[in-house]
Amino acid sequence: MALFELTLVLLLIAVALTALSRRLEVPYPSLLALAGVGIAFVPGAPTIEIDPELALALFIAPVLLDAAYDTSLRDLKRYRLSLALLALGAVVFTTVVVAFVGWKMAGLPIAAAIALGAIVAPPDAVAASAVLSQFKVPHRITAILQGESLLNDATALLIYRITVTAALGPILLSSAVPTILLSTIGSLAAGYLLGRFSLLTLTRIEDAASSTVVQFAGTFGVWILADRLGLSAIITIVVYAMTIARTAPRLMSARRRVSTYSVWESAVFVLNVLAFVLMGLQARSIVGRLSGEGQGEAFLFAATVLAVVIVARLVWVASYVAIIRWLARFDGEDKRRDMPTFGGAVLVGWCGMRGLVTLVVAIALPAGFPGRDPIVLAAFAVVLGTLVLQGMTLKPLLRLLNFDPDRTVDHEVAQARVVIMEAALKVLSGKTSSAASAVREQYTAQRTIAENPENAQAATEYDRLRLYAINGQRDALEELRRNGTIGDEAYHRLEEEIDWSELAASPAGRFQPLTT
């Protein structure tokens, strides 16, 4: 019961910290990390060990699927060079540098040192996104960070699994390479096929609650099946999610979709809180096992790894941006306009906060793994240090860089709104009733506002007036129920109609929790 009670308290604290983070305009994961560390000092906190395979499936699978579902294939293709240099190059570079430090400074075996590098290599863009969305930074930067946070997990976890296996027993490189290639190809095929099969199942379920349960069961089932078949569970889940994301929205009702988004948002939030609870409990037990001189050396090593991780990313990003800009001198003017800037390089380099993947993979190290305690402590230090140091200073950095507000998404919304309003008017063109005329008038007004993509203020004012009118509707509906004119069934049906109208008028997107 102690763990359950502690978790309940931490969930409530996490909710309060989320509200506080909005007021302070800092990423909520930064505050959550501090709360997780605070658990290490709670008297009587329980000691808990979790099965490594369970940790990976429980925490990584749903969070990764949630991130992959929102990933844009168009942006992945458009920024493929930068993504490859970050998701592959930066991960490998960071892994090598950290492994060298672990081998030289802590005396870790080569395989264990590389495992540490792979654990701390993949950044998580969610904490950065919470702040970047407030400043309208160039769309290129946010798209690259989101794409990187999804793809770098596969690279890091592939290195991690190979080195963990090598640390626990001999492994032949000649047999490992073909296995990795087959596993990668098999994972791509399995993710696509399982995604198509899942779509067939989901289209037959109308109940929102049942559909959500099937989605969660399917996510864990795909992870477990891929793992049992010797495939890459990470790659399989990513392909599975992206396959569903391209087709499912058109096949699901609006009610099911909104319900699903809400449940997934809450579930991912809870998983993040639990991960930081485990971080605090694990840190407590590790510090307890380290004593005297060994404790000081472990903390010094952890601080060194933190510094190396931050510097390595900054050096890598600055180097590849300098090379790209030098090569761009030989390209046309159009390509030069879209090339990365040094201001963008500073921002991307500083948005290297580590999150859930680093936490969970560190916790998932087997109990008998060589150098487990200093490795896990260093991983926790990297998560805490990057979230607090980089997360808390991201807003001042953005003000210093002073990017021009980016309206790319606003313009795309305006262009798409014109097209979909015209489609609605075309469908209604043959209808002659008074109701059809009223609906056509509404769509015509919305199209008129959207036709000028530069007139963002008009669109904003239009939505603001709709929300103002909706508040009046809610007041009237409340009064009807209060004076007994309508019952609760009619009230809730009308409440749902008003909710849909409010969602349509609200520009805010889905909430993005700490992932990958």
For residue 406, the model assigns a pLDDT of 77
For residues 358 and 122, the answer to whether their CB atoms sit within 8 Å is yes
Angle in degrees, CA 130, 131, 133, rounded to 5: 75
Share of the chain above pLDDT 90, in %: 17
For residue 224, the model assigns a pLDDT of 92
For residue 99, the model assigns a pLDDT of 95
Per-residue pLDDT reduced to its tens digit, 392-411 = 888 889 889 888 877 777 77
For residues 113 and 103, the answer to whether their CB atoms sit within 8 Å is yes
Could you tell me the end-to-end alpha-carbon distance of the chain, in angstroms, rounded to an integer? 30
Residue tagged 């609760």 (tokens) = 488
Is residue 98 scored above 80 in pLDDT?
Answer: yes
> Where does residue 1 rank: exposed (0-12), middle (13-18), buried (19+ CB within 10 A)?
exposed
For residue 453, the model assigns a pLDDT of 54
Is residue 254 scored above 60 in pLDDT?
Answer: yes
Report the pLDDT averaged over residues 125-134: 67
Q: What pTM, to 2 d.p., does this model score?
A: 0.79
Q: Determine which of 125-134, 416-425, 501-510 has the lowest per-residue pLDDT on average.
A: 501-510
Supply the DSSP symbol for 252. S
pLDDT band at 511 (very low <50, low <70, confident <90, very high): very low
Residue among 81, 125, 72 nearest 338 (CA): 81
Is residue 369 scored above 80 in pLDDT?
Answer: yes
For residue 255, the model assigns a pLDDT of 74
Query: What SS3 string covers 232-249?
Result: CHHHHHHHHHHHHHHHHH
For residue 335, the model assigns a pLDDT of 57
89 vs 125: CA distance, rounded Å: 17
Kindly write down the DSSP assignment for every residue of 365-405, as one continuous string.
S-TT-TTHHHHHHHHHHHHHHIIIIIHHHHHHHHHHH-PPP
Task: Extract the tokens encoding 300.
Answer: 């010094």
Is residue 385 scored above 50 in pLDDT?
Answer: yes
For residue 223, the model assigns a pLDDT of 92
For residues 335 and 328, the answer to whether their CB atoms sit within 8 Å is yes
Kindly write down the DSSP assignment for every residue of 39-50, as one continuous string.
HTTSTTPPP---
Q: Which residues contact 106 (CB under 8 A, 6 or more apart)?
A: 113, 297, 301, 371, 374
Report the pLDDT averaged over residues 84-98: 93
For residue 317, the one-letter residue type is: V
Is residue 278 scored above 80 in pLDDT?
Answer: no
For residues 156 and 59, the answer to whether their CB atoms sit within 8 Å is no
Angle in degrees, CA 400, 322, 316, rounded to 5: 80
474 vs 470: CA distance, rounded Å: 6
Q: Determine which of 69-73, 231-235, 284-288, 346-350 has the lowest per-residue pLDDT on average.
A: 284-288
For residue 513, the model assigns a pLDDT of 37
Residue among 120, 114, 123, 105 nearest 164 (CA): 114
- Burial per residue of 198-209, b for 16 or more beta-carbon CB atoms within 10 angstroms, e otherwise: bbeebeebeebe
Helix axes 233-251, 139-168, angle to 10 degrees: 140
For residue 164, the one-letter residue type is: V
Residue among 206, 141, 128, 164 nearest 394 (CA): 128
Element housing 413 (H / E):
helix 408-428
For residue 131, the model assigns a pLDDT of 67
Is residue 454 scored above 90 in pLDDT?
Answer: no
For residue 514, the model assigns a pLDDT of 39
For residues 45 and 497, the answer to whether their CB atoms sit within 8 Å is no
Q: Determine which of 22-36, 135-149, 224-238, 332-346 has the lowest per-residue pLDDT on average.
A: 332-346
For residue 54, the model assigns a pLDDT of 81
Task: Extract the tokens encoding 143.
Answer: 């798209």
For residue 291, the model assigns a pLDDT of 62
Report the pLDDT averaged over residues 305-331: 87
Report the pLDDT averaged over residues 220-226: 92
Report the pLDDT averaged over residues 420-444: 81
Helix axes 28-39, 254-289, angle to 10 degrees: 40
Half-sphere exposure of 198 (CA within 13 A, CB side): 29
Per-residue pLDDT reduced to its tens digit, 138-175 = 888 888 888 888 888 888 888 888 888 777 766 555 55
Q: Determine which of 47-51, 291-295, 421-425 has the lowest per-residue pLDDT on average.
A: 291-295
Q: Which residues contact 357 (CB under 8 A, 6 or more apart)?
A: 60, 122, 124, 153, 156, 157, 515, 516
Alpha helices (H) in 169-232, listed in sequence order: 173-202, 208-228
For residue 516, the model assigns a pLDDT of 38
130 vs 21: CA distance, rounded Å: 10
Is residue 510 scored above 50 in pLDDT?
Answer: no
Alpha helices (H) in 451-487, listed in sequence order: 456-482
Per-residue pLDDT reduced to its tens digit, 42-78 = 777 666 667 777 878 888 888 888 888 777 788 888 8
pLDDT: is 136 or 239 the higher one?
239
For residues 59 and 271, the answer to whether their CB atoms sit within 8 Å is yes
For residue 167, the model assigns a pLDDT of 77
3-state secondary structure of 72: coil
The most confident of the ranges 256-260, 454-458, 473-477 is 473-477
Half-sphere exposure of 499 (CA within 13 A, CB side): 10
3-state secondary structure of 213: helix
The overall average pLDDT reported for the chain is 81
Kindly list the distances between the CA atom of residue 420 and the CA atoms of 60, 430, 464, 502, in Å, as whole numbers in the listed order: 37, 17, 21, 19
For residue 471, the one-letter residue type is: N
